[in-house]
Amino acid sequence: MNNMINRLVTLSARPDQNAGSHSQLSPDSFKIIERPVPELGPGEVLLANMYLSLDPYMAAYSFSVQALQDAVEARVVARVVASDNADLAVGDVVWGFFGWELYTVLPATLQDHKGYDVRPNRIDPATWPKDAPLSYAVSLLGMPGLTAYVGIVDIGKAQAGETVYISSAAGPLGQVAGQIAKQRGCYVVGSAGSDDKVDFVLSLGYDAAFNYKTTPDGIQAALETHCPKGIDVYFDNVGGETLDAVFMVMNKGARLALCGMISTYQSDDPYRLGNMFMAVRKTATMTGFVIYDHFPQKMPAYISQMGQWLAEGKIRYQDATVEGLDNLPEAFIAMLSGQHGLGKCVIALPEAAKP
């Protein structure tokens, strides 16, 4: 017996989407339980989890399909602490879809909970961008960063001289999307839910930004002020009223990259769009996209490009790291409502502190 005890964050009950009960998510929606870490079987690998990712899509989708007895499935960066498999050695660091828990046992197939082989996700110190924290594997150099890149470059097709507007600009995607649009020579405008966040996105190089909660004459008026030449590309993280306002301010041929609609995730009564007819008049293109369709094929080139921008000092980024599994439920609720710190919400576990 190894006598190790795992601690897992599980759901207390399955949210009932029909009742709009996502709006009732609270720290009590989660339960922390303990369970012995099993002995490793042939070919198995024991991971000590270092960084757990907290993402809005979990509230919108994955809690509805999550098994209640298991740790909530999430992207995780982990270190190998015991291995019966020649392909992963003690000390190797990998990321994958593991769980909100201290330890994860990988099966002999080395597949994560979604069935992806984790071997391509081993972080190679020789190619990992210099000085980039390992937590970036679930933020800047992981899914959120790639989503921002695909939304601006492949979906939005942002061109030099165009105006790009990004909602939830201080979030993990918004931070990166705005800076990538700046790299492409665009005029970049963002919105966020506090004055501190507005200052933060301006410090990242956004040309203009506003607090959508306090703008005196509404979001459309704020967009007309801050986007004097109209909007050519909209990177939509929030949907609802903001998306409706964009229809009125966009230019002919505008491209709308529909990435997320967080304003609806916790609402029992989703906003009904009233201005969509403008998509006809402005011959706009609205494209929803899901990053799984671009992953993993675009990831190596993205990491290489982002690594170069980091080395050249062209990208600034920060995670909002919270320490300890016990603080995860509150951090998740705060992340959804915008009350957490600036940047990507990541839980650091004790293993993360080890050299």
Ligand X SMILES: NC(=O)c1ccc[n+]([C@@H]2O[C@H](COP(=O)([O-])OP(=O)(O)OC[C@H]3O[C@@H](n4cnc5c(N)ncnc54)[C@H](OP(=O)(O)O)[C@@H]3O)[C@@H](O)[C@H]2O)c1
How would DSSP label each residue in 143-208? HHHHHHHIIIIIIS---TT-EEEESSTTSHHHHHHHHHHHHTT-EEEEEESSHHHHHHHHHTT-SE
d(CA 201, CA 210): 10
Nearest residue (CB) to ligand X, 186 versus 342: 342
Is there binding between residue 20 and ligand X (CB under 6 A)?
Answer: no
Q: Return the residue matching tokens 């909100």.
A: 100
d(CA 159, CA 254): 12
Is there binding between residue 171 and ligand X (CB under 6 A)?
Answer: yes
Is there binding between residue 263 and ligand X (CB under 6 A)?
Answer: yes
Q: How far is the CB of 50 from ligand X (least distance, A)?
A: 19
Interface pick for ligand X out of 132, 134, 166, 259 (rule CB under 6 A): 259
Is there binding between residue 174 and ligand X (CB under 6 A)?
Answer: yes
**What number of other Cβ atoms are within 10 A of residue 323's Cβ?**
14
Interface pick for ligand X out of 27, 43, 338, 341 (rule CB under 6 A): 338
d(CA 145, CA 172): 7
d(CA 280, CA 311): 43
Is there binding between residue 243 and ligand X (CB under 6 A)?
Answer: no
Is there binding between residue 289 and ligand X (CB under 6 A)?
Answer: yes
Contact region with ligand X (CB under 6 A), list: 83-91, 108-116, 191-199, 312-320: 191-199
Is there binding between residue 237 and ligand X (CB under 6 A)?
Answer: yes
Is there binding between residue 262 and ligand X (CB under 6 A)?
Answer: yes
Nearest residue (CB) to ligand X, 87 versus 241: 241
CA angle 323, 329, 332 (to 5 degrees): 85
Is there binding between residue 147 and ligand X (CB under 6 A)?
Answer: yes
Contact region with ligand X (CB under 6 A), list: 2-10, 97-105, 124-132, 192-200: 192-200
Is there binding between residue 29 and ligand X (CB under 6 A)?
Answer: no
Interface pick for ligand X out of 47, 155, 291, 315 (rule CB under 6 A): 291
DSSP-assigned beta bridge partners for residue 83: 45
Q: Which of residues 308-337 bind ligand X (CB under 6 A)?
A: 335
220 — alpha (psi -120 to 50), left (phi > 0) or beta? Answer: alpha
CA angle 311, 95, 59 (to 5 degrees): 105
Q: How far is the CB of 308 from ligand X (least distance, A)?
A: 23
One-letter identity of residue 60: A
Q: How far is the CB of 46 from ligand X (least distance, A)?
A: 29
Q: How far is the CB of 145 from ligand X (least distance, A)?
A: 10
Q: How far is the CB of 260 from ligand X (least distance, A)?
A: 2
Interface pick for ligand X out of 170, 284, 310, 328 (rule CB under 6 A): 170
Is there binding between residue 287 and ligand X (CB under 6 A)?
Answer: no
C-alpha closest to that of 75 among 142, 22, 173, 5: 142
CA angle 39, 43, 45 (to 5 degrees): 60
Q: Residue 155 is encoded by which pair of tokens?
A: 């979906």
Residues that bind ligand X (CB under 6 A): 55-57, 60, 144, 147, 168, 170-174, 192-194, 197, 237-238, 259-263, 289-291, 335, 338
